[in-house]
Structure 1
Amino acid sequence: MHHGRGGAARPARELDRLLGDSRVDGIGSTPGADQRWTDILAERLVGHDGTTRYVISQGIGGNRLLNDGIGTSALARLDRGILATPGLEHVVVAVGNDLVFSFAPDTEETAGFLAMFGGEPVTVDDTVTAHLQVTARGRIHGTKVYAATIAPCGGSEMYTPEGDKAREQVNAWIRTSGVFDGVLDFDAVWRNPANSSRICGDLHMGDHLPGNDAGYDALARSIGLSLFD
């Protein structure tokens, strides 16, 4: 997905790439309607500060940071697919599947799906280390790196209490470590105030995992545009 924004009169140009999974890919939004949060963010950035901006989503449904599966792992595609891009100013990393799949219950319902995802299960420390690698590589390229917190998946076939605890630990680190140039707190936007292990019912597509149009709109509008100044 490639969004060109701005007119010829704007001399400045910035390129922002979003590295992620199905929620970055916009699974659950209305097909062909440009209702992914990346689409809406691009629209919000129009005319923000007189800069011509290109917001490029590199989200792959089922993608993970550390292991291949549906698509090459995010870390493996980071240098060539993301950081080597001329004019790159910002990278947003929003990948939560490593923990979701590692802690998912092994049942008849999940076995076929999980069989597509090889590699060893990952831990909280593994996930933190992967985020640190993204940040370190980005800094070498002079790029600002932002991280999104991981939204819950309670109510889905992938949910376990242990996985949710690991997710909360990673989110606490993302929010407080000071490692990133900014944090997009998508967990705070989507989680149900009455049950923090679940997405609000009106914000997901029905299976408690990807969002819907309203959910992606909420994510996009939660992002402070000053992050991209």
Structure 2
Amino acid sequence: MEVQPGTPTRAIAVIGDSRVDGMGSTPGTDRRWTDVLARRPAARGGQALCVVNQGISGNRMLTDGIGTAALARFDRDVLATPGLGHVVIAVGNDLVFSFAPRTEESAGFLSMFPGSPVGVDDIVAAHLQLAARARAHGVKVHAVTIAPYGGSEMYSAEGEKAREQVNAWIRTSGAFDGVLDFDAVWRDPAEPTRIRGDLHMGDSLHGSDAGCAALAESVDLSLFD
């Protein structure tokens, strides 16, 4: 649904997977991290910001599966957003699924995600392509670090190494106008490969209401000025 705002408004479009889509938050209560983030600028006054959630559970950047891949749907779902000022890239499933252990328990789920496994270089290239396309459209682009998922059935040591490499690149490459370090917000100081127990829904993968709120409250609103 599109509405005509009564005051100058800038849109933030977030493209992502289940952690953006809101899996783990209470359904129907607008407690996804994007919902909480959208309420914060209104509370401080100033220019209105609307946050457009373009998360699809199971979505990937490079390969179709559950939903069209982020690279392919970017123009339609993100760049076509009226009043677009900022893009946030928050897709981590490519690495999670590529390195997930293939067991009897996970085989059925992983069969929904066809295509060849991808590595760190592939994820970096995909981020750079999305960033270039966003800037060509005249908007700023921000990247989200991939949060921990140790303890989930998708976890592997190889996947963890790849996650750490991608996160290090996101933080230090200078490729983005801003970084939302959700890994730092969620990771357990005692076990950095895992989400803090009070911030996930019980699956060690998706945030609870408290976890979503913690992500939203960590975002520096000055990034969107």
TM-based fold match above 0.5: yes
Q: Which bracket does the TM-score occupy, shorter chain normalised? A: over 0.9
Matching residue's letter, 1:226: S
The residue that corresponds to 2:27 in the other structure is 31
Matches within 5 A, 1:1-229: 8=6, 11-229=7-225
Matching residue's letter, 1:183: V
Q: How far apart are residue 45 of structure 1 and its match?
A: 1.3
Q: How far, CA to CA, are the matches of 1:76 and 1:30 in structure 2?
A: 30
Q: TM-score, normalised by structure 2?
A: 0.96
Query: Do the aligned residues in 1 keep the contact of 2:16 with 2:59 (CA within 8 Å)?
Result: yes
Q: How far, CA to CA, are the matches of 1:39 and 1:167 in structure 2?
A: 26
Q: How far, CA to CA, are the matches of 2:202 and 2:43 in structure 1?
A: 35
Of 24-33 and 177-186, more deviation after overlay is shown by: 24-33
Query: Do the aligned residues in 1 keep the contact of 2:146 with 2:167 (CA within 8 Å)?
Result: yes
Matching residue's letter, 1:177: S
CA deviation vs aligned residue, 1:125-149 (integer Å, no higher than 9, x gap): 0000000001000010001000000
Q: How far, CA to CA, are the matches of 1:95 and 1:195 in structure 2?
A: 23
SS at structure 1 position matched to 2:194: strand
Query: Do the aligned residues in 2 keep the contact of 1:18 with 1:93 (CA within 8 Å)?
Result: yes
Q: TM-score, normalised by structure 1?
A: 0.95
CA RMSD of aligned residues (A): 1.6
Query: Do the aligned residues in 2 keep the contact of 1:4 with 1:53 (CA within 8 Å)?
Result: no
Runs of 5+ unmatched residues, structure 1:
none
Matching residue's letter, 1:131: H
Matching residue's letter, 1:39: D
Q: How far, CA to CA, are the matches of 1:4 and 1:113 in structure 2?
A: 38
Q: Relative to 1, partners in 2 of residues 1:74 and 1:45: Cα closer, same or farther, differing over 3 Å?
A: same
Matching residue's letter, 2:163: R
% identical aligned pairs: 68
Query: Do the aligned residues in 2 keep the contact of 1:40 with 1:217 (CA within 8 Å)?
Result: yes
Matching residue's letter, 1:223: V
CA deviation vs aligned residue, 1:86-113 (integer Å, no higher than 9, x gap): 3210000001000000000010011000
Matching residue's letter, 1:136: A
Runs of 4+ in 1 over 3 A off after TM superposition: 2-5
Query: Do the aligned residues in 2 keep the contact of 1:3 with 1:54 (CA within 8 Å)?
Result: no
Q: How far apart are residue 81 of structure 1 and its match?
A: 1.6
CA deviation vs aligned residue, 1:142-164 (integer Å, no higher than 9, x gap): 01000000001110100000000
Give the number of aligned pairs.
225
Q: How far apart are residue 74 of structure 1 and its match?
A: 0.7
